[in-house]
Amino acid sequence: MDLHLVARDGVFSTVDAACLGLDRDALARLVRGGRCLRLATGWYAVVDGEPPVREALHRLTATALGRSMRGRAALSHHSCLVVAGLPTFGADLDTVHLTSLVASRGGVSVARPGVAVHRRVGNLRLPVPDMLEAHRARLVPAAWAAVQAGLIAGPEAFVVPADAALRSGATTTAALDRAIEVFATHTGIGPVRAARSVVDARHESPGESRAAFLLGALGHALEPQFEVVAEGRLYRADFRIAGTRVLVEFDGAVKYDDRRALFGEKQREDALRRAGWVVVRLVWSDLDDPRRVGRRIAEALALAA
């Protein structure tokens, strides 16, 4: 039996399964055989190969819960971001977050293990659902989701998806500003509002977004994607510390498996240094040690003076 016949976005319900003549006992046998995975009451995911874990599992679970509550709530916070294909930071992937589409008072209207349904906020109105896509979960706007993620997981959890949403065209700077104002009275909005000045579509990865946030918190103004001519060649650095000859690069790979790539990177940095630039290279572990980064930037600024 090909479960893909009834699955949409990888998930299906017991009602969908009934179209293939599969009852709950049959589904239980398929689960035991590793052909599908139970996500929530009445909802399953098709399993091809290894069972989904972490973000993939969250995406499927969120999709299922979003479909089951489609007329009453929309996926929000990091769950919306994951389903929309936007990056997250510090997300609790064990809990699916939704926001009610029905007006009510207070904070979270439903909270049980694995699910949080937040009360409707402000003037949240989503477009009338397309009946031809009734299988799709509804999503709050990307700007709202980024702000909501920041409210529960801190400002970096806002900056990372906000940068990506701007870069991909999923949101605009005006929409981000409006979303911050919608949540103006919510706990945690202060750090999110302060981090708004860091958000920039020129940050090309979550690592660059986090590096920009950290360097900004350390008091440094940045020029992203700064172009430098050295020895007749044009180079582009992730950041320049504004008004200085210090360049900052974020290296998400940590190591190079391609020896030619490593050699090329060394040549690049040697050329920049010969041209009078000081290069600071950051890796993932540096982003969790602000004092170490602060010392390295201070040393680079002293060397470049």
How many residues does the structure list for the chain? 305
Here the tokens at position 270 are: 């040697």
Last residue of a domain, one of 191, 224, 254: 191
DSSP assignment of 159-172, as one string? HHHHHHHHHHTS--
Which residues, in sequence order, are CB contacts of 203 under 8 Å at separation 6+? 163, 167, 209, 212, 224
- Integer Cα distance of 245 and 220 in angstroms: 13
DSSP label at 105?
Answer: S
Tell me if 201 is assigned to some domain: no
Residues 74, 27, single domain; the answer is no
Is the model's pLDDT at 40 over the cut of 90?
yes
Residues 32, 66, single domain; the answer is no
Number of domains in the chain: 3
Residues 185, 257, single domain; the answer is no
CATH code of 242's domain: 3.40.960.10
The closest alpha carbon to 7, from 41, 40, 47, belongs to 47
H or E segment and range at residue 11: strand 11-13
DSSP H helices, 69-172, are 77-83, 142-153, 155-168
Here the tokens at position 192 are: 């999110």
- Integer Cα distance of 28 and 259 in angstroms: 50
Range of the domain at 81: 52-191
- Integer Cα distance of 235 and 31 in angstroms: 54
Which residue in the block uniquely carries the two structure tokens 């940068």? 163
User: 96 to each of 49, 87, 111, 183, how far by Cα in Å?
Assistant: 24, 16, 10, 20
* Residues 192-214 pLDDT 10s: 999 999 999 999 999 999 999 99
Q: Which range is least confidently modeled, 39-48, 111-120, 283-292?
A: 111-120
Residues 60, 131, single domain; the answer is yes
Q: Which range is least confidently modeled, 70-79, 91-100, 265-274?
A: 265-274
Span 178-196, average pLDDT: 95
Span 166-183, average pLDDT: 96
Average pLDDT score, the chain: 90
Exposed (0-12), middle (13-18) or buried (19+): which is 251, by Cβ within 10 Å? middle
* Residues 130-169 pLDDT 10s: 555 667 899 999 999 999 999 999 999 999 999 999 999 9
Model pTM? Answer: 0.90
